[in-house]
Chains A and B, each alone.
Chain A
Amino acid sequence: MQKSLHINPDKCTGCLQCEMACSFENYGTFNTSKSRIKVFDFHHTGRKVPYTCTQCDEAWCLHACPVEAIKIDAATGAKVVIEDVCVGCKVCTIACPFGTVNYVQDTGKVQKCDLCGGEPACAEACPTGAITYVDASWTGLDRMKQWADKLGNQTAA
């Protein structure tokens, strides 16, 4: 069974624990500027929205890479950048429709979410359940349950 990162913006408070966990996992420092997940704060509506790679099945980044530096992790389904192979050409950053592959100036390589090998640090750090790591076939389960609960509390028509 593969799992997916599932994001529920309604639960996000904007604390950035996910960004710190991500940078710590990958670089050993607390550094939100190196995080592969970003939280966007839409001031005028009060909405905070975490956003990261959704691991497309037909991954544009993978197909665009001229040196085959992006591989599929068979266990997790994550599209993983092989740093030793990456030449920093950035074509994948253009190919990705969602902007979730980005160039890192310090290393001269690109980076993207690799699901931390199956134990994503962001989901582990999220204090509110806004980011969860759940069965890839059932990311809607919680929401279905919420609506089912509402339905169950209605009297029959």
Chain B
Amino acid sequence: MSWAGKILRVNLTQGTCTSEPLRMDWARDYLGQRGLATKYFVDEVDPKVDPLSADNKLIWATGPLTGTMASTGGRYSVITKGPLTGAIACSNSGGYWGAELKMAGWDMVIVEGKSAKPVYLSIVDDRAELRDAAHLWGKTVWHTEETLKKELQDPLTRVSSIGRAGENLVLFAAVVNDLHRAAGRSGVGAVAGSKNLKAIAVRGTRGVGNIRDAKAFMKVTAEKKKILHDHPVTGQGLPTYGTQVLMNVINETGSLPTRNHRDVQFEGASKISAEAMLAKRPDGKSHLVTNQACFGCTIACGRISKIDEKHFSVVNKPEYWGASGGLEYEAAWALGAAPGVNDLEALQYANLLCNEDGMDPISFGATLGAAMELYDLGLITQEQTGIDLKFGSAEALCRAAEMTARGEGFGKELGQGSKRLTAKYGRPDLSMSVKGQEFPAYDSRGIQGMGLTYATSNRGACHLRSYTVASEILGIPVKTDPLATDGKPELVKAFQDATAVFDSSGTCVFTTFAWSLADLAPQLQAACDEAFTLENLNVVGERIWNMERDFNNRAGFTRKDDDLPSRLKTEAAKVGPAKGLVSGIDKMLPEYYTVRGWDSEGRLTAETRSRLGL
């Protein structure tokens, strides 16, 4: 049983920290991390709660394989009701923090209420206490981590915190750990900010024990690591190029959304690609320094880069000259193609600001793209913005990132996300989002399955809820036609359910390029419980998905919220393999509801509820 068996409940209003036994009956039905924490959340929180009120809760949760030798077993998730969307939010992060929490003896931390003044939570094994964070408020993630390690006199402390974006209630603020790993999406950082909770510092020396069958676990995890090592994506592509391996590939398929989805190919793609990160700059160095793994990960897709010290964005700013995280593909797309910027160094500077101040680069870049379209149409002016927001401007990208993270001027409007921004200026149709959350880096005209993925994702538009790109573009596990809608409802459901299990296990969804649930099952069986057979895990995944959906329905979401912006349904792709195509979402959605066992309005039927034990 590789759960710690214990949760920490922190009431910020009362200033208390209490220990509770983990509900093991729930753990068997919902596994851990995303599934189990969401179960706690929906059981305790009113779906109509205002996300930024004291009544919302915020859960930091590990999975049963977090902190073990299973490859990538270092993940944790942050679960809450998201302020960007008003839907269930669950953002997943790697780095080392999750494993440290587990090694301190906790499966999760449930934070409730609101502190009267800024505080941080310090956890050292069994001991947890709230401490004053007045000196950290207004400071960056990087400053906070450095200060807490000194203050607690423990360089091995791991820190998960918010930056100024979270404090300023930027609706897409992230929670960042280990300097540049983030629970990035849906504004989980703003919820922490609304509660005056700056950080959780944790140090664990108890370790993760209680492996059900340790010998079998060591054997099976070693076998599964070999599968990752031998696979071309997890063994070669990701370690060498990182997720950025996709930039040129997706551009060629005509699915790289460009300039707020006006275009589907970006003429500057090669300049912001993995290949560009490896190429020598004029200063004789390459942008990429090395790859980096998160805790326990044998893939190591993470990128560590050094910005060009002479680039206009960082001249006289040595604090940005060191090696640091980025660029990953989604960030490179959002900070590059979405606003049409092809300056790699400017992208990295904006990315550093996102890491430093805890901000989701996807929603930030996509919102900037929408603002640039408003500007292009003359609906907002330089007088209002203080920046010349023309498409393709690297200067505008850098300045907008600074202003958004710091809550300055027009940055405050950008910090509300594209849905609110475009509505304010009378063009809500220009927000490239679903349920208020911006699209990531795949155009749903050229990769039809992703349209359905976005429309039905429980946390708003997201690629990580069912990455059908794997099937439609890469042929994993089987090749499907990216331009066709046939079979996509079944494909999306299968990806959604399997991903929900991986997200609840403590392992990384990137393993699924090489692993299926059949590879995860024996690792969970050896670690936790023989009951986690492949058949059972399929049900666990479906149960988690439906639980999230049910919460959203009760929060007020309906069929009309499972839709794409009109641009993707009426403006055909202009070039590339998808030329002439729009999204077939209207055809796929009713079929998907049927496949899911929902009624025509997208609500769970009594039969589905009973089958899944909901």
Contacts and interface: CB of A to CB of B under 8 A. Distances in A.
Interface string A107-131: 0000000000000000001011000
Contacts of B239: 13
Contact of A43 (B156, B208, B294, B324): B324
Given A44-B323, A125-B69, A127-B225, A15 B295 contact: yes
Interface in A28-55: 28-34, 43-48
B169 to A, nearest CB: 29
A33 B69 contact: no
A48 B96 CA distance: 14
A46 B289 contact: yes
B69 A45 contact: no
Given A15-B296, A20-B296, A30-B68, A46 B290 contact: yes
Interface of chain B: mostly helix, strand, loop or mixed: loop
A31 B69 contact: no
A17 interface: yes
Contacts of A48: 290, 292
A13 B72 CA distance: 12
Interface residues of A, number: 26
Interface in B269-322: 289-298, 300, 304, 306, 322
B614 interface: no
A16 B296 contact: yes
B23 interface: no
B103 A32 contact: yes
Contact of B294 (A15, A24, A47, A127): A15
Interface in B222-278: 225, 229, 239
Contacts of B323: 43-46
Interface stretch (B133-141, B199-207, B492-500, B559-567): B199-207
Contacts of A28: 209, 214
A88 interface: no
Interface residues of B, number: 37
Given A13-B293, A17-B296, A30 B67 contact: yes
B324 A16 contact: no
Nearest to A16: B295
Contacts of B293: 13-15
B96 A16 contact: yes
B207 A27 contact: yes
A21 B218 CA distance: 9
B179 interface: yes
A109 B99 CA distance: 26
A48 B302 CA distance: 13
A4 interface: no
A31 B298 contact: no
B296 A31 contact: no
Contacts of B204: 33
Nearest to A40: B155
A31 B206 CA distance: 7
A23 interface: yes
Contact of B103 (A17, A33, A43): A33
Interface centre among B71, B204, B300, B306 (most CB of A within 10 A): B300
A47 B289 CA distance: 9
B208 A127 contact: no
Pairs of residues from A and B, 7 with the lowest C-beta to C-beta distance, nearest first: A31-B207, A46-B323, A29-B207, A44-B322, A15-B293, A13-B293, A29-B209
Given A31-B209, A48-B292, 15 more contacts: A13-B297, A13-B300, A16-B96, A23-B207, A24-B69, A24-B218, A29-B207, A29-B209, A30-B103, A31-B206, A33-B205, A44-B322, A45-B289, A47-B290, A127-B298
Interface of A: 13-17, 20-21, 23-24, 27-34, 43-48, 125, 127-128
Interface of B: 67-69, 71, 96, 99, 103, 156, 179, 203-209, 214, 218, 225, 229, 239, 289-298, 300, 304, 306, 322-324
